[in-house]
Structure formats: C-alpha cells, structure tokens
Chains A and B, each alone.
Chain A
Amino acid sequence: MTSILETAVRIEISETDFDVNAELSKMRVGRADIGAICSFIGLVREANLGSRVSSMTLEHYPGMTEKTLRNIVAEASQRWPLQAVTVIHRVGKLLAADNIVLVLVASAHRQAAFAACEYVMDFLKTDAPFWKQESTENGVHWVDARVSDTAALQRWNQN
C-alpha cells in the first residue's frame, strides 16, 4: 500500500471553473505507470426537490476545508494504492449546469481508482466544510444536509 507521501496530491478551492483536460494532463505528465483514472464531476442541478434552482452560492471555511480534504485523501491513500489525487471544489456563485467539484484518482488498477474516488466524494460530502445556498423561484435558502450522505459512509466501515 502506498502512503500519502508517495501519492501526488493536488487540492484546490477556486472561484473559477476547472478544466478537466488540463487537470488530467497535470496528473499524467511524465509518467507511464498509471493504468486507470477515475474521475467525478458534481454539477448544479436545475431541479432540486421540486424547486427550480437558478443559482447557488457556495461558502466554505478557508483553512479547515483544505485540511479536511488533505486528510480524506491521506486516508484513501492508506486504503488503496494510489498514484495521484486531485480535488478541486468551487466556491462563490454558480449557475445551473455549472461544475461544482472535480475529483480525479489515478492508480495502476481500476478497482482502486473507482473505490478511492467514491470514498473521497463520500467523505467530502459529510466532512468538508462547504455550505450551499440555493436561489429558487421560492427565494433563497440554505440547503439541508442529507441523511443519505451520512448513510453512504457505512460501506467504508465494512472493509
């Protein structure tokens, strides 16, 4: 099992959009040992619980956010043999269909890449200090945390 020291980690909180191709290139440059890259993109859905979301504002806790994401990636690197991990999360105002978050996980093997990418997303959802405020036709409101996100963590205790 590789440790976090051997895994190339990139964490970024950004008001601007990310470029998936550019992030893939950064991760891959100069190496021919990667067999699999699993990526996840989270997007702003226009429809959420029956209301039409026109925009969303993402707030976070600078410092704790990066620390939390680094810890999550370090845990994943202990569980699976990872080669590189990139996590980019946007903050500020986002519109429907905009990108919110990008997670890229590279490994020699596909199962490790899939599992670690989903692990990072699951813990990002429950532990990383981001908060969403949605603007809908019914006004502005803070998004409630979902029980299903906490439930999703259960599977990682079984390994």
Chain B
Amino acid sequence: MWQWFHRLASPRWFYQASGKFLPWISMLGLFFISLGLVWGLGFAPQDAKQGNSFRIIYIHVPSSFLALVGYYIMAAAGAIAIIWKIKLADMVMKAAAPIGAAFTFVALLTGAIWGKPTWGTYWIWDARITSMLILFFLYLGVIILQSSYEHKGLSSKAAALLALVGTVNIPIIYKSVDWWYTLHQPATIRFTEAPSMHPDMFQPLLVMIVGFYFLYAIALVASIRVEILHRERRTKWVQDLVFTNKNNDP
C-alpha cells in the first residue's frame, strides 16, 4: 500500500503513467465537450424568456463548478505537500492555482456577459456572484504569492499555508456572504435557485459538466507534466527523455 503510494508520488512515475492515460482522458474530454456543445448550442430548445442567450449556461455553470472544486483540490494538495512533504503534491498545488483561477475567471466573465441581456447590467451584488469574486481573489493571492518568492521550495510552502487558511475560510466566507445577501433583500433581480430546467436543456448541461471535469483534469495533468520536466530537468531520466528519444513516451 505505502509502496504504491510513494511510487505514485514519484514525479518520474507520474510522468510516465500520465503519459499513458493523458491521450485517453483527452479523447474523452473532447468527446463530452463537443457532444455537449453541439447538443446544447444546436439542439436544445430556446429558453422561453431569454431566447438564445441562455445557451451561455453551458459554459457558465460547468466553469463555476470547477472553480470551487479546483480550490479544494489545490488546498488538499497543499496540505499533503506540507504535511507529508511529497514533491508531487507540491506540483499539483502549483499547477492547480492558475487553472482554478482561469475557470473562476471564465465563470465571472460568462456570468457578466449573460447578465447584460438578462438583467440589463453586467454586475449585481448577488451572494453567489460576490463569493465567486472573493474566490477569485483567493486564487490570485495564492498565485501571486507563489510567483513572488524566488526560492522554489519556499514559494510552494508559503502558498500552501495561504491556501490552507483559505480553506478554513471558504465556508465562512460563503456563509457570511449568503447571510449578508438575505439580510439586505435587495429589490433587484434575484439570482434564482436552479431554475427548474427543462430536461432537454438540462441533459446537455450535465454532459458539459462531465466534459469540464475532463478538461480540468487534462489541464492539470498537462501542466504538472511541464512542471515535472522543469523541476527535474537536471535528472538523468529527463535528460534522456529530451536528448535521446529512446523513451517511447508520447
């Protein structure tokens, strides 16, 4: 069991194993996303009130999902890196931060674009929107902190500490923002709870969500691989990989 764990945690092993399954998840991801897109954009019925503009939901909702999930993946990796000092976890954390931030940004952007036709404004201070923005700041903090330290070992430790504090805080932030919002009960448009969606609209959404999970995985694995190559560039196996092409890795 432990042996297996440590083997998995060895960057070299991960690089080689991921090389084998990356094409597969890429294909699956491509499949789900194109299926979802074609279905959602082409075949799902128009929304009664919002017309075609609702179709942005097929990007918006999946990326909102992954934005949050991504933070926990990042923080968990940070915790593992700090507690068990596992190199690979360190790299996962480093790779997860910008990817998560990117998904958060896409969620914010698509939401804002969607807001204009629906609410007539790009932005309202809705509880979920606001907490999404705060999440984005948390990500930014981790990324900037990480890149500001020049000493690599320190940068990931510092960022992991911050991510951990953030993890304790995320539920608190969400609770408080929610509480704040219900307290004020603003008269403006409310961000309705999952509108009871027609199954024809909902099914492609599910497909897109699955597709986005794959997309996230692809992005994460790919950037971990780059990070591994970078950090282990001095080691023999990487040199072999780069200079002689005898490794049959794709």
Q: Do A and B bind each other?
A: no
Q: Please list the residues of chain A having a beta carbon within 8 angstroms of any beta carbon in chain B.
A: none
Q: Please list the residues of chain B having a beta carbon within 8 angstroms of any beta carbon in chain A.
A: none
